[in-house]
């Protein structure tokens, strides 16, 4: 059995007196690719913040890469976690290659007086080729399309060779072609980096890579179901999670969803 990468046990979280999560359990092992699915406000991003060692739970335990939150240096732990956030706050005109290098330093801008090694430069170049941006190496960040930025951020997240990759709605703002390019990159990663575990947050089934292996469905801060994706993502569970009759099917490894008349839900 592959080693455990993430282990959340009985996790609750309160903010301003309101309980946002109610006893969440989640275990992710090396090489697994999880989807966190649920409506807006369900608690997906809060769960992801625990996975990324960004916040501590109000109660329960969170272990990330074998280290328990509250007993470890968070900055050191975060170096082993790659995070893809389409709202990346970079404001300057770094080149694509430089953006990827900031994944090694864990910063938004390149640190002053830091010089990458020859091996680090080579790795950044290899990752750009892997995500289909080899020809854009010297392009400036402000001139990239949203889809190109998304793929660059995946390369950036992988630059430090993380054991865990977190993707927070990575296809936000992408058109269909750019979305498909990014999902193809994620599918390839399952083969080029088979030991890396990933957790992807979305509320659209169509945005799941074909290599998604597991899913956690969450609604109103409660886990509806968690497990292998074919068992967790069904017409019944998706309808319960989103509180609307939704028919789910799968074609060629990709998921589809469409609204059902309420009378058909009971027979689905």
Sign of CA dihedral 68, 231, 86, 59: negative
- Of all residues in the chain, the percent with pLDDT exceeding 70 is 97
**Given a cut of 70, is residue 101 above it in pLDDT?**
yes
Side by side, which strands form the sheet with 59-64? 18-29, 4-15, 59-64, 67-68
Tokens 């939704």 label which residue? Answer: 246
- Residue 117 reports pLDDT greater than 90: yes
Q: Which tens digits make up the pLDDT trace of 185-239?
A: 999 988 888 999 999 999 899 999 999 999 999 999 999 999 999 999 999 999 9
Taking only the tens place, the pLDDT of each residue in 29-43 is 999 999 999 999 899
In this prediction, residue 69 has a pLDDT band, given cuts at 50, 70 and 90, of very high
Residue 74's pLDDT is what? 80
Residue 106 structure tokens: 């864990």
d(CA 195, CA 30): 6
Mean local confidence (pLDDT), 130-140: 94
- pLDDT exceeds 60 at position 265: no
pLDDT of residue 166: 96
pTM of the model: 0.91
In which band, very low, low, confident or very high, does the pLDDT at 7 lie, cut at 50, 70 and 90? very high
Q: Are 127 and 159 in contact (CB under 8 A)?
A: yes
Structural domains for the chain = 1-80+163-174+193-268 (3.40.50.300), 90-161 (no CATH)
């Amino acid at each position: 059995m592959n080693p455990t990468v993430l282990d959340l046990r009985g996790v609750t979280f309160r903010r301003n007196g309101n309980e946002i999560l109610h006893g969440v359990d989640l275990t992710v092992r090396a090489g697994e690719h999880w989807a966190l699915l649920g409506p807006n406000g369900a608690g997906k991003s809060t769960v992801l913040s625990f996975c990324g060692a960004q916040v501590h739970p109000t109660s329960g335990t969170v272990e990330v890469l074998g280290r328990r939150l509250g007993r470890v240096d968070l900055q050191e732990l975060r170096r082993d976690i790659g995070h893809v956030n389409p709202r990346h706050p970079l404001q300057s005109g770094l080149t694509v290659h430089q953006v990827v290098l900031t994944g090694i330093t864990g910063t938004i801008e390149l640190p002053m007086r830091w010089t990458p090694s020859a091996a680090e430069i080579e790795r950044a170049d290899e990752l750009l080729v892997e995500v289909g941006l080899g020809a854009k190496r010297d392009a400036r960040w402000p001139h990239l399309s949203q889809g190109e930025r998304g793929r660059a951020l995946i390369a950036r997240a992988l630059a430090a060779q993380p054991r865990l990759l977190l993707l927070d709605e990575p296809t936000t703002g992408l058109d269909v072609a750019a979305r498909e390019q990014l999902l193809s990159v994620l599918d390839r990663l399952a083969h080029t980096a088979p030991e890396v575990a990933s957790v992807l947050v979305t509320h659209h089934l169509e945005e799941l890579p074909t290599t998604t292996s597991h899913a956690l469905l969450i609604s109103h801060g409660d886990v509806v179901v968690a497990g292998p994706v074919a068992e967790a993502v069904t017409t019944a569970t998706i309808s319960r999670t989103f509180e609307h009759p939704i028919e789910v099917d799968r074609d060629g490894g990709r998921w589809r969803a469409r609204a059902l008349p309420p009378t058909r839900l009971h027979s689905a």
